[in-house]
A and B are shown apart, each in its own frame.
Chain A
Amino acid sequence: MALLRHNGKGRKLVVIGNGMAAGRVLEQLFERSPDAYDVTVFGAEPRTNYNRIMLSPVLAGEKTYEEIVIHDEAWYEKHGVTLRKGENVTAIDRDLRTIATAAGHVEAYDKLLIATGSTPIAIPVHGVTLPGVVTFRDLDDVDVMLRAAEKGGCAVVIGGGLLGLEAAAGLKAKGMQVTVIHLMPTLMERQLDPSAGYLLKKSIESRGIEVLTEANTKAILGEDRVTGVLLDDGREISADMVVMAVGIRPNAKLAKEAGLVVERGVKVDDHMRTSDPDVYAVGECVEHRGLCYGLVAPLFEMAKVVAAQLAGERKAAYTGSVTSTKLKVSGIDLFSAGDFSEGDDSDEIVLRDPTRGIYKRIVLRGDRVRGAVLYGETDDGPWLFDLLKKETDVSAMRDTLIFGQSFQGGALLEPLAAAAALPDDAEICGCNGVCKGTIVSAITKNGLTSLDEVRAQTKASASCGQCTTKVEALIASTLGDGYEAAKRKPMCKCIDLTHEEVRGLVVSRHLDSMPAVMQELGWKTSCGCPSCRPALNYYLLCAFPLDYKDDAQSRFINERAHANIQKDGTFSVVPRMWGGLTTPNELRAIADVADRFKIPTVKVTGGQRIDLLGVRKEDLPAVWARLNAAGLVSGHAYAKGLRTVKTCVGKEWCRFGTQDSTGLGVKMERLLCGSWTPAKVKLAVSGCPRNCAEATVKDIGVVCVDSGYDIHIAGAAGLHVRATDLLGHVETEEEALEHVAAVMQLYREEAAYLDRLYKWVEKVGLERVRQVIMEDHEARKALYERFLVSQRAVRKDPWAERAAGFGAKEFTPLAVVAPIEAAVELAVAAE
Chain B
Amino acid sequence: MNAFSPNWFDIGSIEQIPRRGARVVKTPRRDIAVFRTAGDEIFALENRCPHRGGPLSEGIVHGRKVACPLHNWIIDLENGEATGADRGCARRFPVKVEKGRIYLEMTAAVTP
Which chain B residues lie closer than 8 Å to A828 at the CB level? 9-11
Q: Is the CB of A528 within 8 A of B28?
A: no
Contact in complex: A341, B70 (CB < 8 Å): no
Residues of A within 8 A of B40 (CB): 341
Q: B63 and A565: CB pair below 8 A?
A: no
In the bound complex, how far is the Cα of B37 from the Cα of A553, in angstroms? 11
A830: chain B residues at CB < 8 Å are 10-12
- Whether A809 is near chain B, meaning CB under 8 Å from some CB there, is yes
Report chain A residues within 8 Å CB of B61. 553
Q: A815-B11, A817-B26 are in contact. Are A534 and B60 (CB under 8 A)?
A: yes
Q: With a CB–CB cut-off of 8 A, which chain B residues contact A816?
A: 25-26
Q: Which of chain A's residues have a CB closer than 8 A to the CB of B108?
A: none
Q: Which residues of A contact B102 (CB under 8 A)?
A: 814
Give the complex CA separation of A19 and B33 in angstroms: 46
- 0 or 1 for each of B87-112: is its CB under 8 Å from A? (1 = yes): 00000000000110010001001100
Interchain CB contact (< 8 A) of B39 among A341, A530, A556: A341
Chain B residues lying within 8 Å of A556, measured Cβ to Cβ, are 60, 69
Is A342 within 8 A of B69, CB to CB?
A: no
Q: Which A residues lie within 8 Å of B63 (CB)?
A: 342-345, 348, 525-527, 529
- Asked if A554 is at the interface (CB within 8 A of a chain B CB), the reply is yes
> Which has the most chain B C-beta neighbours within 10 Å: A341, A345, A526, A569?
A569
* A193 CB contacts on chain B under 8 angstroms: 38-39
A554 to B59, CA, bound (A): 10
Judged by a CB distance under 8 angstroms, whether B67 is at the interface is yes
- Report yes or no: B9 in contact with A817, Cβ–Cβ below 8 A: yes
B54 to chain A, nearest CB (A): 7
State the interface size on chain A (CB cutoff 8 A): 46
Mask: chain B, 38-63; 1 = CB below 8 Å from A; 0 = not: 11110000000000111100111111
CB atoms of B18 and A567 under 8 A apart: no
Q: Which residues of B contact A818 (CB under 8 A)?
A: 26, 28
**A513 CB → nearest B CB, Å:** 14
Contacts of A71 in B (CB 8 A): none
- Interface SS, A side: loop
Q: CA separation between A596 and B102, bound complex, in Å?
A: 35
Bound-state CA distance A282–B34 (Å) is 36
* A789–B109 CA distance with the chains assembled, in angstroms: 50
Asked if A553 and B59 sit within 8 Å, CB to CB, the answer is no
Most buried by A among B60, B102, B106: B60
CB <8 Å contact, A341 and B41:
yes
Tell me if A565 and B70 are in contact (CB < 8 A).
Answer: yes
CB distance from B64 to the nearest CB of A (A): 5
Q: Which A residues lie within 8 Å of B37 (CB)? A: 341-342
Q: Render A322-366 as a binary contact track against B, CB cut-off 8 A, 1 for contact.
A: 000000000000000001111111011000000000000000000
**Residues 514-547 of chain A: 1 if any B CB is under 8 Å from the residue's CB, otherwise 0?**
0000000000011111100110000000000000
Contacts known (A527-B62, A569-B54, A814-B24); A342 close to B39, Cβ less than 8 A: yes
CB < 8 Å: which of B20, B23, B34, B59 contacts A557?
B59
State the CA gap A555–B59 with chains docked (Å): 9
Partner of B38, one of A264, A342, A555, A569: A342
- B108–chain A nearest beta-carbon distance, Å: 12
Q: Is the pair A813, B23 in contact by a Cβ cutoff of 8 Å? A: yes
A425 at the interface (CB under 8 A from B): no
- Give a binary string over A795-831; 1 marks a CB under 8 Å from any B CB, 0 the rest: 0000000000000010011111111000000101011
A545-575 interface code vs B (CB 8 A; 1 in, 0 out):
0000000111111000100010111000000
Complex CA–CA separation, A813 to B12 (angstroms) = 11
What residues on A are CB-neighbors of B67 within 8 Å? 530
Q: A153 at interface (Cβ–Cβ under 8 A)?
A: no
Contact with A along B59-89 (1 / 0, CB 8 A): 1111111010110101000000000000000
Within 8 A of B (CB), among A594-641: none
Which of B24, B28, B109 contacts A819 (CB under 8 A)?
B28
Are A533 and B25 neighbours in the complex by a CB distance under 8 Å?
Answer: no
Q: A290 in the interface, Cβ–Cβ < 8 Å?
A: yes
* Contacting residue for B19 out of A530, A534, A553, CB 8 A: A553
Chain B residue numbers with a CB within 8 Å of A812 are 23
Picked from A347, A348, A554, A831, the residue with its CB within 8 Å of the CB of B60 is A554
Pick from B9, B12, B72: contact of A826, CB under 8 Å: B9
The listed residue (A343, A555, A568, A819) touching B64 by CB distance below 8 A is: A343
Chain B nearest Cβ from A620, distance in angstroms: 12
Complex contact B12–A817 (CB within 8 A): no
Given contacts A264-B99, A553-B19, contact A817 B58 (CB under 8 A): no
The answer to whether B25 and A814 have CB atoms under 8 Å apart is: yes
Q: How far is the CA of A690 from the CA of B27 in the complex (A)?
A: 57
Docked pose: A347 CA to B53 CA in angstroms: 28
Residue on A with the closest CB to B74? A530
Nearest opposing residue in chain A for B28, CB measure = A819
B69 to chain A: which residues have CB within 8 Å?
Answer: 556-557, 565
A residues near B, CB below 8 A?
Answer: 193-194, 263-264, 290, 339-345, 347-348, 525-530, 533-534, 552-557, 561, 565, 567-569, 809, 812-819, 826, 828, 830-831
* Cβ-closest 9 pairs across A and B: A341-B39, A344-B63, A814-B23, A342-B39, A557-B58, A530-B67, A553-B20, A815-B11, A569-B55
> Taking beta carbons and an 8 Å cutoff, which residues of B are in contact with A?
9-12, 16-21, 23-28, 31, 34, 37-41, 52-55, 58-65, 67, 69-70, 72, 74, 98-99, 102, 106, 109-110
Give me 11 other A-B pairs in contact (C-beta within 8 A), A554-B60, A565-B58 excluded: A339-B39, A344-B63, A347-B64, A527-B63, A533-B60, A552-B18, A553-B20, A554-B20, A809-B18, A813-B24, A826-B110
12 A/B residue pairs, CB under 8 Å, sorted by A:
A290-B99, A342-B37, A342-B39, A343-B63, A530-B72, A533-B62, A555-B60, A813-B23, A814-B102, A817-B11, A817-B109, A828-B9
